[in-house]
Amino acid sequence: MSSDELPISDETTPSEPGAALPELKLPETQSDLVQQEQDLQREIERLAATRDDLQGQIAQTRDALGRVVQQNLAELEQRRQTLQLSIEQLERRQERIRNEMKSSFAGASQEIAVRVQSFKDYLVGSLQDLAIAAEQLELPTFQAEVPQPALIQEAPKSQAAPSPDFAESTFEEKSQKIRSIIDQFRNQPDYYGPVWKLRRTFEPVHAERVSTWFFKQGGRGAIRTMGSRLQNILIASASISILYNLYRDRLRVLILANSPERLGEWRRGMQDCLGVTRSDFGSDRGIALFEVPEPLALKAERLDKDGFLPLIIVDETEENINLALLQFPLLLAFAPSPQQMIQQQSYY
């Protein structure tokens, strides 16, 4: 073995004492590991910082969402309360309308407008009546002329006119005519008929009330209200139409109601059911409206003396009947139901 090979054999023989290990690559490997460790540490720190940033953003987002949710919840709660109040107001208004529609012709949804319009109509009609009455105040100055004998001759004729009494058997022919007219109203309604003829649908319940007033009460008494002023006006219009068919221009209608609004409802209802116009209303016309019974009684007395036939109609809101009204042969009063009387007492 040569001398050149000895070191090689020395290097490759690890069992020899004092032989050095190959440590040249260890420092490089360790430095690489340290470098990798430092890189990993920096990466960990960077990721930790990113994580902290993300957690901070998440916390901010959560807070922002919480605030938005709270604001939206507060707004929704406020809107819910507002809607609840609106619903309660509408329910109370609906209940009030239902209650007033039972006793009101126009209803309560436009009660203020209706009352104002009714009062306006009543004032206009009253002014027209006053104008007519003022014009007629000058007439007595011409009564000093010759026509007094004619008046004296006509007075017994008008006083001799028979008073209507539909309940007596002696008026069987007149009763048959009344029943015939009622049947015609029921079976052959004429919606475009002449003035003073009923122009509305006439149900059996209406016919029953009218027949009761004519044949059981003899045209003088009170009947139970239909619960609606419109229905009462329909019954009164049917009775007026029948009486006009029997007595023509002798008939005079006097309506008593305790407020301008109700008188306005009666005026419009009569125009709708009988086809009459505003010119038919007035103190010396076919229909007269009164708020208090005293002038109505005086007017009825004058009409009776002049040979006319006054028909007194009393609205259901009149609690008491003036005794002066009971002296006339034709009286149609609408009696309120016990429930309506209780409501009126609680209202006043």
Q: What pLDDT score does 336 carry?
A: 84
Q: What pLDDT score does 151 carry?
A: 40
Q: In the predicted model, is pLDDT for residue 148 greater than 80?
A: no
Q: Assess if residue 130 is contained within a domain.
A: no
If asked whether residues 96 and 168 sit together in one domain, one would say no
- Last residue in a domain, options 68, 85, 101: 101
Domain boundaries, position 75: 31-101
Percent of the chain with pLDDT over 70: 69
Q: In the predicted model, is pLDDT for residue 3 greater than 70?
A: no
| Cβ(234)–Cβ(273) below 8 Å | yes
Q: Assess if residue 11 is contained within a domain.
A: no
Q: Assess if residue 43 is contained within a domain.
A: yes
Q: Assess if residue 196 is contained within a domain.
A: yes
Q: Give the model confidence (pLDDT) of 154-194 as tens digits.
A: 434 444 455 566 654 445 678 899 999 999 999 999 988 89
Q: In the predicted model, is pLDDT for residue 152 greater than 50?
A: no
Binned at pLDDT 50, 70 and 90, residue 127 comes out as confident
Q: Assess if residue 180 is contained within a domain.
A: yes
If asked whether residues 96 and 226 sit together in one domain, one would say no
If asked whether residues 221 and 288 sit together in one domain, one would say yes
CA distances in angstroms from 148 to 16, 144, 152, listed in the order given: 177, 8, 6
If asked whether residues 197 and 317 sit together in one domain, one would say yes
Binned at pLDDT 50, 70 and 90, residue 128 comes out as low
If asked whether residues 179 and 308 sit together in one domain, one would say yes
Q: Give the model confidence (pLDDT) of 284-328 as tens digits.
A: 889 999 999 999 999 999 999 999 999 999 999 888 888 889 899
Single-letter amino acid, residue 126: S
If asked whether residues 47 and 185 sit together in one domain, one would say no
If asked whether residues 302 and 224 sit together in one domain, one would say yes
Nearest to 294 by CA among 340, 256, 330, 334: 256
Q: Which residue has the tokens 């490759």?
A: 12
Q: What pLDDT score does 133 carry?
A: 63
- Last residue in a domain, options 101, 118, 137: 101
Tally the C-alpha atoms within 13 A of residue 234's C-alpha that lie toward its C-beta: 22
If asked whether residues 225 and 337 sit together in one domain, one would say yes
Q: Assess if residue 116 is contained within a domain.
A: no
CB atoms within 10 A of CB 4: 7
For the chain, the domain total comes to 2
Question: What does the pLDDT average to over 142-155?
Answer: 43
Q: What pLDDT score does 319 carry?
A: 81
Percent of the chain with pLDDT over 90: 41
Q: What pLDDT score does 196 carry?
A: 95
For the entire predicted model, the pTM comes to 0.53
Q: What pLDDT score does 312 carry?
A: 96
List the beta bridge partners of residue 309: 251
If asked whether residues 234 and 309 sit together in one domain, one would say yes
Q: In the predicted model, is pLDDT for residue 278 greater than 70?
A: yes
Q: What is the CA radius of gyration of the chain?
A: 50
Q: What pLDDT score does 117 carry?
A: 66
Cα–Cα distance measured from residue 311 to residue 240, given in angstroms and rounded to the nearest whole number:
8
If asked whether residues 164 and 88 sit together in one domain, one would say no
If asked whether residues 188 and 330 sit together in one domain, one would say yes
Q: In the predicted model, is pLDDT for residue 29 greater than 70?
A: yes
If asked whether residues 168 and 58 sit together in one domain, one would say no
* Phi, then psi, of 35 in degrees rounded to 5: -60, -45
Q: Assess if residue 106 is contained within a domain.
A: no
Q: Assess if residue 307 is contained within a domain.
A: yes
- Last residue in a domain, options 60, 76, 101: 101
CA dihedral for 39, 44, 50, 53, sign (positive or negative): negative
